[in-house]
């Protein structure tokens, strides 16, 4: 049991770390002269192709066991995947204007946005633990984004894109956990990435026709697809069942420090002490919000074991 949890934790941590590296790679692609259209289309295009190949070679299940989603299910997954495409567009636009360390903090606002979405959809008031987590996240965000430092010029365009990315990410997280859960994970990932690819192609249609640089596919597309659309779904689908959602969400928060450290090491983006304090506060809030879920899950497992 402990070995399974340790194994699952490693998978989740690697998946989150993969996501954490993305923004730095995107910013490096920008430095090479590539556009947001080229970055997102190469990531999702090659990601879809990679997942398609993996689906062809995945272990076949007997017809009685395999749950192939019907056309309606495929349509739902594809539509749900558009939120993934929009998340990438908004997030990558944000890192054009603001440091990666600020962009990842804004993306993590999905934690409290998810609480509000859950409250609206399920008409259930959040518990005290979630309320305190939201307050801590907001306090951490103020510190991590330098809002209190008067000597720093705040780029509100970047902040706006970052908040839109958080909204899209919230929708993506909700749909990922509620649509066609009985379908094979690789199939679900394939159709959701297809949805993301379609919305990106629609948004950047004019850019594709005029002056699109196909060099992006060889220069950065492979890296972005691997770390953004291929590895994370595979690692999360392997790891989350072993850790459970509560522990998995806590471990997945490693995406924040990985993103900040990558930007600091490769892009030489400075990160002040109070920004680190803000990041630690956000990580603490994520743990606080999910620790009770884990304890509840463990108590259920204990009851099942006793019975």
What secondary structure letter does DSSP report for 240?
H
The boundaries of the domain holding residue 106 are: 2-306
Q: Which of 119, 55, 104 is CA-nearest to residue 263?
A: 104
Check residues 146 and 86 and name the one with the higher pLDDT.
Answer: 86
Q: Dihedral sign, CA of 42, 43, 44, 50?
A: positive
Please give the average per-residue pLDDT across 201-207, as a whole number. 89
Closest CA to 170 of 121, 240, 204, 214: 121
Q: By the 8 A CB rule, do 26 and 92 touch?
A: yes
Distance of CA 258 to the CA centre of its chain: 13
Query: In angstroms, rounded to a whole number, what is the distance separating the alpha carbons of residues 158 and 244?
Result: 34
pLDDT of 304 strictly over 50: no
Structure-block tokens of residue 89? 């567009």
DSSP 109: T
DSSP, collapsed to helix, strand or coil, labels residue 125 as: coil
Report the chain's terminal Cα–Cα distance, integer Å.
Answer: 18
* Averaged pLDDT score across all residues of the chain: 83
Number of domains in the chain: 1
Report whether 134 contacts 286 (CB < 8 A).
Answer: no
Q: What does the pLDDT read at residue 150?
A: 52
pLDDT above 60: residue 189: yes
Geometric angle at alpha carbon 17, from 19 and 31, rounded to 5°: 55
- Structure tokens belonging to residue 289: 């919000």
Distance from C-alpha of 207 to C-alpha of 36, rounded to nearest angstrom = 10
> Mean pLDDT lowest for which of 19-33, 57-71, 85-99, 208-222?
57-71
Q: d(Cα 89, Cα 39) in Å, to the nearest integer?
A: 9
Does residue 65 surpass a pLDDT of 60?
Answer: no
Q: Do 276 and 38 meet the contact criterion of CB atoms below 8 Å apart?
A: no
Is 63 a residue whose pLDDT tops 70?
no
CB atoms within 10 A of CB 167: 17
């Amino acid at each position: 049991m402990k070995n399974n949890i340790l194994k699952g934790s490693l998978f989740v941590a690697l998946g989150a770390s993969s996501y954490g590296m993305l923004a730095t790679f995107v910013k490096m692609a920008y430095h090479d002269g590539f556009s947001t259209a080229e970055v997102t289309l190469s990531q999702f295009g090659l990601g879809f192709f990679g997942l398609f190949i993996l689906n062809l070679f995945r272990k076949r299940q007997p017809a009685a066991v395999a749950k192939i989603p019907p056309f309606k299910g495929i349509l739902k997954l594809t539509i749900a995947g558009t939120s993934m495409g929009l998340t990438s567009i908004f997030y990558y636009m944000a890192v054009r204007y603001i440091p990666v360390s600020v962009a990842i903090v804004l993306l993590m606002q999905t934690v409290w946005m998810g609480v509000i979405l859950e409250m609206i959809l399920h008409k259930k008031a959040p518990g005290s633990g979630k309320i305190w987590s939201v307050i801590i996240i907001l306090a951490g965000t103020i510190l991590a984004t330098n809002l209190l430092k008067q000597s720093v010029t705040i780029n509100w365009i970047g902040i706006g894109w970052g908040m839109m990315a958080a909204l899209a990410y919230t929708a993506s997280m909700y749909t990922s956990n509620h649509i066609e859960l009985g379908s094979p994970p690789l199939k679900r990932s394939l159709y959701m990435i297809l949805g993301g690819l379609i919305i990106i192609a629609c948004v950047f249609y004019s850019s594709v026709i005029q002056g699109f640089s196909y060099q992006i596919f060889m220069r950065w597309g492979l890296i972005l697809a691997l770390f953004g659309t291929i590895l994370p779904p595979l690692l999360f689908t392997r790891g989350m069942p072993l850790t459970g959602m509560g522990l998995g969400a806590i471990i997945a928060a490693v995406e924040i420090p990985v993103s900040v450290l990558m930007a600091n090491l490769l892009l030489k983006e400075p990160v002040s002490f109070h920004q680190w304090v803000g990041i630690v506060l956000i990580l603490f809030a994520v743990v606080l919000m999910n620790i009770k879920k884990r304890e509840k899950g463990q108590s259920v497992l204990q009851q099942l074991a006793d019975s």
